[in-house]
Amino acid sequence: MADKTAKSARPSSDMTAFRKEFAKAKSIVILTGAGVSAESGVPTFRGAGGFWRKWQAQTLATPEAFADNPSLVWEFYHYRREVMASKYPNKAHEAIAECERRLKPQNRKVTVITQNIDGLHKRAGSDSIIELHGNLFKTRCVKCKDVAVNNDSPICEALRDKGEPDPSAVDAKIPVENLPRCKISGCGGLLRPHVVWFGEALNTEVLDRAGEELDKCDLCLVVGTSSVVYPACMFAPNVASRGITVAEFNMEDTPVTNEFMYHFQGPAGEHLPAALAKCDTEK
């Protein structure tokens, strides 16, 4: 545990010092955001440049948009699913997954709590993953509420070759009966992406699991997240307030950078492999 009273105004970038703390940690939580996936070329759909056709994601990723035009919303999410077919986990994802596998036989735990919905942590090999905002490759039935993994490409025949992001593209206007449907016998309800949309609350069970891991962690890493989205923005500061070491890996400072013990500026794919590599004290 770090001594908060010894913390300077600016977080340290001393990798050797961080590594000494990493070597002692028994329960490590890694909080990840869009910046990790951006290094794999995944569009973030945040900020002024985050448009699909003429819409920003915030206008499509809502329950109201889905109720009003499920065809358009499914085009958007079908496009995002298909984009992921050409994207792969990067060195940061791989370093996290390798660290989890390596530490498990030592009775040391690594838990990923991610705001990302792209599934890249799982594809990299991580097992202990808490997905705060859901997953692009899961669906939820609006009728029976069944949640299922769905990696079909396309997710339904009517969406094949649809979802072109060009602003001049014509909306497919797919009849609702031809959109993805529930496969549970006797249901057949309309499916929606199993993601948390704007205006929706995070799943309480998921939040509880995240809270449990944060409460017992003795080291926390913040990787590729701007720390502005509630409630995730409070996770690391709350951990730091208990005197637990928090290390931030980001391209730039965030509003809470100075609350942490360490800050490593630059691509996570460059810093994380060194930060999480095998220590001399490991067997």
Rg (CA), the chain: 20
Average confidence (pLDDT) per 10 residues, the chain, 283 residues: 52 96 97 94 71 89 97 97 95 98 97 96 98 97 97 97 93 97 96 96 96 98 84 89 96 90 95 93 73
Name the residue type at position 37.
S
Burial (CB count within 10 angstroms: exposed 0-12, middle 13-18, buried 19+), residue 6: exposed
Distances (CA, A) of 120 to 69, 124, 141, 268: 29, 6, 24, 14
**Per-residue confidence (pLDDT) for residue 51, from 0 to 100:** 83
155: annotated binding-site residue?
Answer: no
| Residue numbers annotated as active site | 133
DSSP H helices, 25-68, are 34-38, 57-60, 63-68
Residues 95 and 272: their CA atoms lie apart, in Å, by: 6
43 is annotated as contributing to ligand binding: yes
Quote the longest CA-to-CA distance of the chain: 63
Listed in sequence order, the residues at least 6 apart from 125 whose beta carbon sits closer than 8 Å to its beta carbon are 94, 97, 98, 100, 101
Residues 121, 281, 235, 148, CA torsion sign: positive
Nearest to 187 by CA among 145, 138, 155: 145
> Is residue 90 marked as binding?
no
- What is the DSSP secondary structure assignment for residue 162, as one 8-state letter? -
Q: Which residues pair with 30 in a beta bridge?
A: 112, 221
User: Is 23 within any annotated ligand binding site?
Assistant: no
Q: Locate tokens 């951990």: which residue?
A: 239
Distance CA 10, CA 260 (A): 9
Query: Which backbone phi and psi does 123 adopt, to 5 degrees?
Result: -65, -30
Continuous segment of H or E residues that includes residue 265: strand 262-265
Is residue 187 annotated as involved in ligand binding? yes
